[in-house]
Structure 1
Amino acid sequence: MLPISRSSQVSFSLLSTLFFLLCQNKAIAQKEVVRSEQVWLQSYHEAKVSEKWMLLLDGGFRWRDGVDDKLAYIVRAGAGYALTPRLRASAGFAHLGGYAGEKVIRREYRPYQELQLKDQLGRLNLSQRLRIEERFFDDLAVGVSTADFNFRFRYSVMVGIPLLRLSAKNPDRRLVLNVGDEVFINAGQQITHNVFDQNRLILSPSLQWNKDLSIALTYNSQFASTPAPEVFLHSRIYWLQLRYNVDLGKKDRQ
């Protein structure tokens, strides 16, 4: 039997995953689908505090039907540990709020754990992430606080394709196209028809200014389940993402 390289295994896994998700999207599209347009703004920050440890922070806001109708906010913080140069384990906590008009009617408290694996396939950058979330909900829509809980499993795969180098003096300044997918699966006693939660198909041109700063204008085609069985929500999401990394312990290690 001929040996199979790690790159070939990763490539096969990537293609198989994308094929499965495309078929899944096609099957969902044959159900009753409600359409929506959304605008998201999110900022991600990573602070390296030692050779292995890093702090993670992000926050954002979401609107529907332009920017006049508030949809949700999210704030998330955590810590990561580099198990190897390619593999990172992280854990943290997120808080979200969902709006009806100007009023927050649903709050979510979300601990999470994740593994992130990064690979280089020639000139392409491959990133895979598995995240487990424990979701606690506080629903205020009916005027009386009601609590719900479920698990959610998320798997994402993203390929970075370098398109153009923008500076001869700064090789890190370039234009990159990120393409990927993320699938969300629910689990728990309160989960009935909505085991499938959502799927995000991502197309993200990104301006990488340097190794620490990048900005991306992302298109997210998102299919999501709804409280009604056999009814899905398809959202076209325009997502502005800012990423900034800082190395707090760099001077101590020099």
Structure 2
Amino acid sequence: MNQLSRFLLEAMLIGVFTGLFAQNPPQPTEKEISTSDGVWLGFYTKYHFNEKWAYYGEYHVRKKDGFSEMAQIYLRFGATYTIAEYLDFTAGVVLPFYWAPNPEDPNVDDVVPQYRLWQQAVLATPFEHIKVFHQLRTEQRWRRSYVKDSPFELTHRFRYKLTVYVPLNKPAFENHTLFVAAYNEIFIQAGKSIVYNHFEDNRSYVGVGYNLSEQFQIQGGYMLSFRHAGSPFKYEQRHILRLSLYHHMDLHLGSHREERPIPIH
């Protein structure tokens, strides 16, 4: 084989192998996990109009990088119907606003809205000294990227949360009860644009709360979020401090309802 033929053969082989590696780049063998932190402030309301119907609302300010940067403003509204003593159903709308992670980019909007419908069933387990809640929630989300004029796409989210409340200084929940609260919630998403990232998030929380009165409750605690970060092998671990205030009130006169902690959402 002369030198020209050898050169042509080597060039062809190099081209073939280069093309193969370009089309099938090496895949990572381990997860890439980034970390972040933030602070979430929440105000939860539940106002009963009668024994069956109530207004439900959530209002959140969520910060990232500690308390330095805005992440979200999150507004949730709903109507709750009491099906049975320990079973409620709620449906309504959600209006969150997301702050772009790179607002200096001229091609992105600094703040992007999202539009959602949501439905929820909460089952309370009637133990004597502790309170256990099973929450099933579905959401239909119209969301878009931060790129200017990008279209809204419909996706679906399914959530299950198990919450436990344990009183510390009294045998049951009443005024001036100090308690421990803990929950775990898993998020699954679906839709045309969801290809491989069906698992979205898992949130674990532990905190301490105090019943200030029959109407007001305060809670503070730590939440660990482990969520998908946009590719098959990238994930984000978030360390979140949460502070929440709850207001639960009967607007109809002459009635009596057993007060119970409002589940965290």
Give the whole-Å Cα distance in 1 for the aligned partners of 2:251 and 2:203.
Answer: 33
Query: Which residue number corresponds to residue 185 of structure 2?
Result: 182
Query: Which residue number corresponds to residue 12 of structure 1?
Result: none
Query: Which residue number corresponds to residue 214 of structure 2?
Result: 211
Query: Which residue number corresponds to residue 232 of structure 2?
Result: 229
Query: Which residue number corresponds to residue 8 of structure 1?
Result: none
Query: Which residue number corresponds to residue 41 of structure 1?
Result: 41
Query: Which residue number corresponds to residue 95 of structure 1?
Result: 95
- Maintained 8 Å contact 2:221/2:242: yes
2:125 maps to amino acid = D
TM-score (norm 1): 0.82
Alignment of 1:142-157 (within 5 A): 142-157=147-162
Query: Which residue number corresponds to residue 117 of structure 2?
Result: 111
Q: Deviations over 1:150-173 (max 9, x none)?
A: 10000000111111149xxx9421
1:199 to 198, 202, 215: 202
Identity %: 26
Give the whole-Å Cα distance in 2 for the aligned partners of 1:156 and 1:116.
Answer: 9
2:163 maps to amino acid = M
Query: Which residue number corresponds to residue 131 of structure 1?
Result: 137
State yes or no: 1:32 paired with 2:38: no
- Maintained 8 Å contact 1:63/1:72: yes
- Maintained 8 Å contact 1:216/1:241: yes
TM-score (norm 2): 0.78
1:73 maps to amino acid = I
Give the whole-Å Cα distance in 2 for the aligned partners of 1:197 and 1:129.
Answer: 17
The structure whose residues are more often strand, as a share, is 1
Gapped runs of 5+ residues in structure 2?
1-29, 104-108, 257-265
Query: Which residue number corresponds to residue 263 of structure 2?
Result: none
> For this pair of structures, how many residues does the alignment match?
221
SS state of the match for residue 131, structure 1? Answer: strand
Q: Report deviation, 1:98.
A: 0.8
Give the whole-Å Cα distance in 2 for the aligned partners of 1:211 and 1:127.
Answer: 19
- Maintained 8 Å contact 1:70/1:100: no
1:201 maps to amino acid = S
Query: Which residue number corresponds to residue 159 of structure 1?
Result: 164
Gapped runs of 5+ residues in structure 1?
1-29
Q: Deviations over 1:181-239 (max 9, x none)?
A: 00000011211121001000010211111232100002110011111221111000001
Change (3 A) 1:252 1:202: closer
- Please tell me whether Structure 1 or Structure 2 has the larger radius of gyration of its CA atoms: 2
Q: Report deviation, 1:148.
A: 1.5
1:54 maps to amino acid = A
SS state of the match for residue 164, structure 1? Answer: coil
Q: RMSD of the alignment, in Å?
A: 2.1
Give the whole-Å Cα distance in 1 for the aligned partners of 2:203 and 2:160.
Answer: 10
- Maintained 8 Å contact 1:60/1:75: yes
